[in-house]
Structure 1
Amino acid sequence: MNDGADNSQNEAEGGDGVANPGHGAVDEYRAGFVTFVGRPNVGKSTLTNALVGEKIVITSPKPQTTRRAVRGIVHRPGGQLIIIDTPGMHRPRTLLGERLNDIVQQTLAEVDVVAFCVPADEPIGPGDRFIAAQLDEAPRAKQVALVTKAEAVPKERVGDQLLAVSELREWDLIVPVSALGDIQLDTLVRELIALMPVSPPLYPTDTLTEETFEQRAAELIREAALRDAREELPHSIAVTIDEVVLLDDGVTREVYASIVVERDSQKGIVIGRAAERLKGIRQRAQRELTAIAHAPVSLSLHVKVAKEWQRDPKQLGRLGF
């Protein structure tokens, strides 16, 4: 990370910008699990990718983009962080929404640290207070508050948000950060590692995620499909990988995938006039797949309808939820 960004932020905050300092000394190797929780679109996935150093979870301004618990591993000489990126906590309207909240609750019960994320550029609201109260479900975990998107507002507003967050509950640590501005990311990693139990490394040093190529491919295709999607369509999109074929050259992959929607009208929207929208999705996703494969990838897409799959237990099971 950029040490210069950390230093400039420290000076701007009149210190290291960390409430409850003193956790930073790491005398023994430490390793453990942290999860970022918060409302949808508070920057959890963007922060995960920035800390891991590679795009392992998709990002989108659309609500409920994250649908699974994805592990990313951060390696430092003094320790290892396993970040579990989870769906945003929300009041569910479908069976899918209930299952996404179940993922969050299960994760809260298992991690060593819970990091509650609140963006610097939005006032704290009922949703934030609801989630802060839910942290009582994680009594064994240390609890940290992160003011995200610190680059988006003047430092005075960051300070105001830090104060507002401090009044929600008792925290072991409060840190302002910015994934896009590379503000205090090294500080955050250092402080989180200091909160972890003494432990040998839990993953090999070359491992950044447990996600398979197929899992990452499905998510990157969905990310491409979410772009420009409007109204309820983002919630209705799922992706399945039907087949991955390794060609005779031993490096080139052919990926065959399906974009799943809930209604025939949505199928037409995804395909677009003269299949132009589907072509754009394929081109964007193919570039991303080639990047994570570090080799050529040829992507074939088709769109199919699974009626009301968000509310159908059997359909949800087939789609991996």
Structure 2
Amino acid sequence: MNDSIPVAGEEYKSGFVAIVGRPNVGKSTLLNSLIGQKVAIMSDKPQTTRNKILCVLTLPDAQILFIDTPGIHKPKHKLGEYMVQTAENTLHEVDVIIFVIDAASDLGAGDQYILERLKTVKTPVILAINKIDQMPPAEILPVITQYVDKFNFAAVVPISALHSTNLADLITEVKSYLAPGPQYYPEDMLTDQPERMVIAELIREKILHLTREEIPHAIAVDIEEITARDNDNLYIRAVIYVERESQKGIVIGSGGKLLKEIGYLARKDIENLLGSKSFLDLWVKVKKDWRNRDNTLRSFGYE
């Protein structure tokens, strides 16, 4: 994203910004648009983001460290409890909070729950009203009124994360609440996520897109090996874990068709990310009830 060079005497700013909201309001889409590259996976399935993801936006006058959090929701298993705790803990660790809502959805119990949590912190909260491209401009004002009546926001910015509408205005508002500070990371760094985790998430994204019902949330992906071959191509072996034998058959598909499609789509994103040709070797295994097992959750990176 382009930004003006600071005038003489203006101090460089930096700080941490949490992106919070209900599941499926477009938090990951917003993060990717702000950074200018796909880092967080996107899906129309709720509760897509499971881990706290740090992404770095370096501008001429500031470095903003965005934290994409799991959607805050009522948990149904230990993984869900971990996700919600991760999101809520982040509220107390940042300099600014961006609360993302869906402009086309009514203020419901989930939004009200988050608002109550936001009232417990002293951090400035910016309301980002997302998906304004899906509704007439005249209908946006009532949405703003509905929310500002319930919370004292530091700013309100209507946006379209998908089309990058008003994102420069959102960045301007964020910077106004950051204190002078150093550049924490190199300017070419986009995320603190290990390469293996980003690859695993790209694979999981394709499964989210291609499956339905209980399958998406029963999936975990573990990268067992990344090896550079003589021709500089990468060999990547990944295991897709499901909770039941019936789910394994669904993910593989008739004659392995679905698994091949998952691999084909994931490999394209992985090659774009790494800048080299890759061979993706996918396996599917059953690990019963993994979402309720503490040791398994830790082994998959959910600390």
TM-score by length of 2: 0.95
1:40-97 alpha-carbon deviations (Å, 9 max, x no partner):
0001000000000000000001111000011111121111111000100001010110
Greater Cα shift, 183-192 or 299-308: 183-192
Is the counterpart of residue 122 in structure 1 residue 105 in structure 2?
Answer: yes
Q: In structure 2, what residue type is equivalent to 1:69?
A: K
Greater Cα shift, 128-137 or 272-281: 128-137
Matched with 1:299 is 280
Is the counterpart of residue 164 in structure 1 residue 146 in structure 2?
Answer: yes
SS at match of 2:210: coil
Q: How many angstroms does 1:212 deviate by? A: 2.1
Distance 2:2 2:57 in 1: 16
Matched with 1:234 is 216
Greater Cα shift, 291-300 or 162-171: 162-171
1:14-47 alpha-carbon deviations (Å, 9 max, x no partner):
xxxxxxxxxxxx9321100111111000010000
SS at match of 1:33: strand
Contact 1:149 / 1:178 at 8 angstroms: preserved in 2?
yes
Distance 1:116 1:44 in 2: 9
Following TM superposition, the consecutive aligned residue runs of length 4 or more in structure 1 with deviations greater than 4 angstroms are none
1:96-140 alpha-carbon deviations (Å, 9 max, x no partner):
10000111122111011111111111111111011111113432x
Contact 2:240 / 2:284 at 8 angstroms: preserved in 1?
yes
SS at match of 1:92: coil
Q: In structure 2, what residue type is equivalent to 1:166?
A: V
1:253-278 alpha-carbon deviations (Å, 9 max, x no partner):
11000000000000000001111000
Alignment of 1:155-304 (within 5 A): 155-249=137-231, 251-304=232-285
Greater Cα shift, 106-115 or 261-270: 106-115
Matched with 2:66 is 83
Matched with 1:308 is 289
Distance 1:151 1:27 in 2: 35
Contact 2:2 / 2:59 at 8 angstroms: preserved in 1?
no
1:180-206 alpha-carbon deviations (Å, 9 max, x no partner):
222111111121012111112111111
Is the counterpart of residue 147 in structure 1 residue 147 in structure 2?
Answer: no
Distance 2:297 2:55 in 1: 25
Distance 2:92 2:2 in 1: 33
Q: How many angstroms does 1:315 deviate by? A: 1.6
SS at match of 1:175: strand
Q: How many angstroms does 1:177 deviate by? A: 0.8
Contact 2:252 / 2:284 at 8 angstroms: preserved in 1?
yes
Matched with 2:54 is 71
Is the counterpart of residue 104 in structure 1 residue 96 in structure 2?
Answer: no
Q: In structure 1, what residue type is equivalent to 2:93?
A: E
Contact 1:259 / 1:302 at 8 angstroms: preserved in 2?
yes
Contact 1:246 / 1:253 at 8 angstroms: preserved in 2?
yes
Distance 2:70 2:166 in 1: 24
Uncovered stretches (5+) of structure 1, i.e. residues with no partner: 4-25
Distance 1:124 1:38 in 2: 12
| Residue in structure 2 matching 1:53, options 21, 36, 41 | 36
Counting matched residue pairs gives: 297
Is the counterpart of residue 136 in structure 1 residue 119 in structure 2?
Answer: yes
Contact 1:2 / 1:182 at 8 angstroms: preserved in 2?
no
Percent identity, please: 39
Q: How many angstroms does 1:287 deviate by? A: 0.6
Contact 1:108 / 1:137 at 8 angstroms: preserved in 2?
no
